[in-house]
Structure 1
């Protein structure tokens, strides 16, 4: 245990050092971009110009985010992927059936922007890997291209501090996203590219996740071969940051057939020690295991079940509400359970930025409705 702890600490130090050096490199690149402008034009630094630049930074950040997500979407579509949804802050564009819909919803897992595309037809793992590299790189590339064009205009025909600010913000967003890092369930494009290139572990986990989404985005109609591959990867990579999300995606396949298989598969993934205080992917794995235990009739007999439920955090609202609903079942609090289930149905709505149509989650709500009736019967005795 001591050795593992030291290795983990060493890895975190190397990771922090790498990110620091990458940040310094970005800073070194930025100096030649804006420093010549200061010498050529000698801008006046007063209150008015300061407010203009601050406003330009805010507007540029929004525009850079839009450019970034459209870069992903265009790169994926050109490579043969199919558009699913795109979010810019609370604004979400959904492709449902043959129509596009616009809704407003809080971003999932803290993402300020997100473009989701999938593969519409069967392709080989090698083809999928190549397309995903272009799709992931499309976002940072779009920012860097926008920054390059803006800088060229600033130093040729359109000198403007506002345009230069726009260029710098785009360059920062694009370059920062290329740094391989992850935090609280969010991974940069650079981390995904690093995994796809085989520089860091996780390529097979990324590919199988897209394979599951390709075969059935809303349910569990996956081929037995794909399921076996996903199960094997869960067993082989219990400590990888992506494995909890893969287990959470895979568990519904078993829960309707044999929940004990899901329970056995999740033992190394769910309820494990949390190195991070906020870990929404681990929360998803824990809730998937709770669903499994409830379906198998093992929830109340699970050792330290209330302690395990209490570890699930507040970051993602659906997992938090399921946590509270199961706690109410254990405590036989019918009124509270009813409130949590009502809120769950409201949060899931017609579409959710993380669970999409939420077919499985809505099925679990119906199951807990039945548990609510049992709870009311027992409480009235």
Structure 2
């Protein structure tokens, strides 16, 4: 059985050096974009103009983010995907049950922007791979197209430092997103494209995630073959950055009837040594294991469980609140537990950009409310 190894110091240094070179390359490209403008128009550098540029940069950043996510959405729809939701900061546009609505919510997993689409029908792995590449590339490509158009306008019919700033911000966002890197569980579009193209490991993990979403985006009504494939990938790639998220997605499949199976699958994935202080994907895997242990009546028996719960961070609000709820269970504090569960219900609401309808999470809340008096230490 083949497993991936963790990045050692040498590998991390090589990765950082590659990212530095990529950043320098972007800088070299940017100089010819704005340097001629300074010679042609000789703008006055004073406080008022500096303030204008700062404001223009902030506004351009927001607009570039919107363009980026719309680019993903358009490319996905043109590739046959179905729109689910789009987040721009705390603003989330939701399409569910044939209706559209706008909600205000903390960004999921720390993403400033996120477009979530799914495939409505079955596809071969090759078809899904090709369409996902277009969907993922749509965001940075949209930024680069807008940047080129804006630069052309600046140097032809509409010379403007503000428009040039807008162009540079779009160029930076588009180019930076094509660098294949990840940090704190967040992966750039370039990293996803690198995995889908086979240049870095992880293509199968990306595809199985979209396969699960395609078969049942709101629950666990998946084909047995799909579940078996996901299980095998978790065992084959325990150290891949995406594996904790896959385990967290798959874990609810077992909780109702066989939580011990979820526990067994998660060993080596949950509660593992962290490579960074903030790791929301690892938080999801850890809280999925805690759900399984509680459902199996083994939470109180888990070695150093309070220490393990304490490692779960606050980057993902729902995981953090479940951490506090289970800590209250172990400490025998029903009032604290009730407060955590009330907060969880408010955060999940009727719909959540990461948990969607939150059926599984709401079932956990209900079970904690109903069973705490019966077995406060869950084992």
Alpha-carbon displacement from aligned partner over 1:3-39 (angstroms, at most 9, x marks no partner):
x999511111111001100000000000000000000
Corresponding residue of 1:32: 32
Alpha-carbon displacement from aligned partner over 1:239-263 (angstroms, at most 9, x marks no partner):
0000000000000001122111111
CA distance in 2, matches of 1:354, 1:9: 33
Corresponding residue of 1:331: 331
CA distance in 2, matches of 1:175, 1:148: 12
* Cα distance, 1:47 vs structure 2: 1.5
Q: Which shows bigger deviation, 345-354 or 36-45?
A: 345-354
CA distance in 2, matches of 1:118, 1:96: 12
Corresponding residue of 2:232: 232
CA distance in 2, matches of 1:371, 1:331: 15
User: Quick one: structure 1 residues 101 and 7, their matched pair in 2 at CA, closer, same or farther if it must change by over 3 Å?
Assistant: closer
* Cα distance, 1:376 vs structure 2: 7.9
Q: Which runs of 5+ in 2 are unaligned?
A: none
Task: Determine helix, strand or coil for the equivalent of 2:130.
Answer: helix
Is the 1:329–1:375 Cα contact (8 Å) retained in structure 2?
no
Summarize the alignment of residues 269-348 of structure 1 with structure 2, pairs less than 5 Å apart: 269-348=269-348
Q: Which shows bigger deviation, 274-283 or 140-149?
A: 274-283
CA distance in 2, matches of 1:6, 1:123: 32
* Cα distance, 1:46 vs structure 2: 1.1
Summarize the alignment of residues 6-45 of structure 1 with structure 2, pairs less than 5 Å apart: 8-45=8-45
CA distance in 1, matches of 2:265, 2:18: 34
User: Quick one: structure 1 residues 6 and 149, their matched pair in 2 at CA, closer, same or farther if it must change by over 3 Å?
Assistant: closer
CA distance in 2, matches of 1:240, 1:226: 19
CA distance in 2, matches of 1:232, 1:161: 54
Summarize the alignment of residues 1-381 of structure 1 with structure 2, pairs less than 5 Å apart: 8-374=8-374
Task: Determine helix, strand or coil for the equivalent of 1:85.
Answer: strand
Task: Determine helix, strand or coil for the equivalent of 1:300.
Answer: helix
CA distance in 2, matches of 1:5, 1:282: 17
Is the 1:262–1:292 Cα contact (8 Å) retained in structure 2?
yes
Is the 1:178–1:191 Cα contact (8 Å) retained in structure 2?
yes
CA distance in 2, matches of 1:336, 1:344: 12
CA distance in 2, matches of 1:283, 1:6: 18
Q: Displaced runs of 4+ in structure 1, greater than 2 A?
A: 4-7, 371-378
Is the 1:338–1:372 Cα contact (8 Å) retained in structure 2?
no
User: Quick one: structure 1 residues 102 and 276, their matched pair in 2 at CA, closer, same or farther if it must change by over 3 Å?
Assistant: same
* Cα distance, 1:377 vs structure 2: 12
Is the 1:180–1:188 Cα contact (8 Å) retained in structure 2?
yes
User: Quick one: structure 1 residues 166 and 8, their matched pair in 2 at CA, closer, same or farther if it must change by over 3 Å?
Assistant: same
Task: Determine helix, strand or coil for the equivalent of 1:350.
Answer: coil
* Cα distance, 1:218 vs structure 2: 1.0
Is the 1:333–1:375 Cα contact (8 Å) retained in structure 2?
no
Is the 1:205–1:243 Cα contact (8 Å) retained in structure 2?
yes
User: Quick one: structure 1 residues 64 and 272, their matched pair in 2 at CA, closer, same or farther if it must change by over 3 Å?
Assistant: same
CA distance in 1, matches of 2:355, 2:197: 28
TM-score by length of 1: 0.96
Aligned residues: 375
Is the 1:237–1:243 Cα contact (8 Å) retained in structure 2?
yes
Alpha-carbon displacement from aligned partner over 1:323-348 (angstroms, at most 9, x marks no partner):
11111111111111111111111111
CA distance in 1, matches of 2:247, 2:377: 34
Is the 1:337–1:372 Cα contact (8 Å) retained in structure 2?
no
* Cα distance, 1:375 vs structure 2: 5.9
Alpha-carbon displacement from aligned partner over 1:78-122 (angstroms, at most 9, x marks no partner):
110000000111111000111110111111111111100000001
- The two structures, once aligned, show a CA RMSD in angstroms of 1.6
